[in-house]
Structure 1
Amino acid sequence: MKHIITILTILIIASCSKEQTFSGTASLTLINAVPNSTPSLVTNFSGTDPINYRNALKLEYGKADKGQLNLSYTGEQRLAIYKYPDTNAHNAPLYDLTLHLQVGATYTLFLTGTLTVPDTMFTIDNPPYHPISDSSLGIRFVNLMAGSVPVSVNLAGRAHGSEANNLSYKSMTGFTNYAATAGISKYTFEFRNTATGALISSLDVGDINKASFNARRYRNFTLALIGSPGDPTTHKAMLIETFTSLN
């Protein structure tokens, strides 16, 4: 299964005074978790100024493109996000945001909610370090399903809630380390209704013990539940790589 992440690296020039200027970068990951936002959302890092939709960064639902980067030169970053094709009256953006990005920090902006009531979850990410001597990966869990009941997360075959329990909308756990050794090929995680135990979505986190390349070892990920509670076709467990701070 292919898990792709959109990373937008924001170049920031921050002035502490008229005489002294520090420059650096902040890392921003954008995730489209808005159900029925097909074919995509598009970004405008110039706020609501006119953009060329054909060349704009497109965020597909439940996906992102690691190869697309966007650069800016300020710590206060204006970001407008539109539905593509644009169906809002008077070309109004779905989101009109101002992000405050600190040099050296790593952020994730989850676009969630619905097309009629858009919402966001903005996190400063501090994933754990995995030393060479510790063959492991880190995973945290988040419920991004607007209007959902609380959910639990378990490894397949284990008790409900074995990994996380009673996650309400926009609740996120800390990182848990999992072994990423040659004897383990995958982990299967299941999101369930906490009250009833009904399965909502599941995901295999694989590519752990490939002889040629271990795609998971020493890295960190966010496993997100996305979708609309009333539409099972939108239910999805999404794996997102979480990057280490640039500090």
Structure 2
Amino acid sequence: MAQNKMKYSNHIYYLLFFFLLASCKKSNTFPEGSTSLVIVNAIPGSKPLKADFTDGKNPLFIYSRSISYGDVSTNSNFYLGYKGEQHLKLYQYPDTTVKDQPLFDMRFEIPPGSMQTLFLTGTTAAPESVRLNESFPEIPWKDSAMAVRFIHLSPGSEAVTVNLQGSSEKIVSGLAYRQVTDFRKYVVLATTADYVFEIRDALSGNLITSYTFTKTAGNLRYRRNFYTVVFGGLPGESGQLAHRTFRLSHLTGF
């Protein structure tokens, strides 16, 4: 019975979420009184995280969403309706009993009408976070464009630069750990080639990793959307801990 109730609640949640997104894309602001919190897990080696907003009232984690490392989706990372002072605890699943210590235990304010993004970074031994109150640039309806920004969430890594593949122009210079850039617009036309962003060590110029917006040409899901490309992972590591990139889509979840 509880599981069926949770599934029903999820359907209502998704309908509300996409209604609010449709309103948001018209003005680049959230409807008055509505709120949005996106939680992004960029902690290398972390287990899936479970969010507790109940202020110690023992939530049913078995039915809650998992916030996985390097993965962002509407049904896992986006939280609506939380406003005012919040007491958020984040546990590594399955370590979610009252005897377990949360990886994060924080209090913060979510004002009505605000959109916030909480980036979790650092390591499981020394977790850190970056919380942003979002404000998106205007993209007129007549413009076929998207907006992209970058955030450095690789603990222990030096500052980086960003350039488009095949170009020596630096889109971003000297981006240090826990810093985030402003949004920059990029055209999305029927003839637009894939955007390949290369992330390089700012001192040596050596390529560290890259991120590609695939199938860009004429793709309507990119048009008038806002993306954060996350640079994460750990220097000198391999496998799941290695340097990597992934993206957050702020207005559609794609």
| TM-score scaled by length of structure 1 | 0.82
Query: Is the contact made by 1:155 and 1:189 (CA closer than 8 Å) also made in structure 2?
Result: yes
Deviation at 1:26, TM superposition (A): 1.1
Query: Is the contact made by 2:164 and 2:195 (CA closer than 8 Å) also made in structure 1?
Result: yes
Deviation at 1:164, TM superposition (A): 0.3
Q: 1:43 to 1:232 in 2, by over 3 A?
A: same
Query: Is the contact made by 1:127 and 1:242 (CA closer than 8 Å) also made in structure 2?
Result: no
- Amino acid in the other structure paired with 1:45: F
Deviation at 1:195, TM superposition (A): 1.0
Q: Which runs of 5+ in 2 are unaligned?
A: 1-13, 18-31
* Deviation per residue, 1:72-102 (Å, 9 max, x gap): 5541111100111229993010001112001
- Amino acid in the other structure paired with 2:139: H
SS of the equivalent of 1:91 reads coil
Instruction: Tell me what 2:181 maps to.
Output: 173
- Amino acid in the other structure paired with 1:79: L
Alignment: residue pair count:
221
- Amino acid in the other structure paired with 2:131: F
Higher helix share: 2
SS of the equivalent of 1:54 reads helix
Q: Aligned partners of 1:104, 1:51: CA distance in 2, in Å? A: 26
Q: Does 1:128 align with 2:137?
A: yes
Query: Is the contact made by 1:203 and 1:238 (CA closer than 8 Å) also made in structure 2?
Result: yes
Instruction: Tell me what 2:70 maps to.
Output: 62
Please list, as runs of the form range in 1=range in 2, the aligned pairs for 1:1-247 lying within 5 A after superposition: 24-38=33-47, 40-68=48-76, 70-72=79-81, 74-86=83-95, 90-159=99-168, 162-210=170-218, 213-233=219-239, 234=241, 235-243=243-251
Q: Which runs of 5+ in 1 are unaligned?
A: 1-6, 10-22
Higher strand share: 1
Q: 1:201 to 1:89 in 2, by over 3 A?
A: farther
Identity of aligned residues (%): 32
- Amino acid in the other structure paired with 2:223: R
Query: Is the contact made by 1:150 and 1:166 (CA closer than 8 Å) also made in structure 2?
Result: yes
Deviation at 1:115, TM superposition (A): 0.1
Deviation at 1:60, TM superposition (A): 0.6
Q: 1:73 to 1:155 in 2, by over 3 A?
A: closer
Query: Is the contact made by 1:138 and 1:221 (CA closer than 8 Å) also made in structure 2?
Result: yes
Query: Is the contact made by 2:147 and 2:226 (CA closer than 8 Å) also made in structure 1?
Result: yes
Instruction: Give RMSD over aligned pairs.
Output: 2.4
Q: 1:88 to 1:52 in 2, by over 3 A?
A: closer
Deviation at 1:207, TM superposition (A): 3.3
SS of the equivalent of 1:204 reads strand
Deviation at 1:34, TM superposition (A): 0.5
Q: Aligned partners of 1:47, 1:64: CA distance in 2, in Å? A: 25
| TM-score scaled by length of structure 2 | 0.80
Q: Aligned partners of 1:70, 1:166: CA distance in 2, in Å? A: 32
SS of the equivalent of 1:98 reads strand
- Amino acid in the other structure paired with 1:163: I
Q: Aligned partners of 1:131, 1:164: CA distance in 2, in Å? A: 24
Q: Which moved more, 1:44-53 or 1:175-184?
A: 44-53
* Deviation per residue, 1:191-245 (Å, 9 max, x gap): 11111122221111123224xx52211111111101112324332111111349x
- Amino acid in the other structure paired with 1:219: N
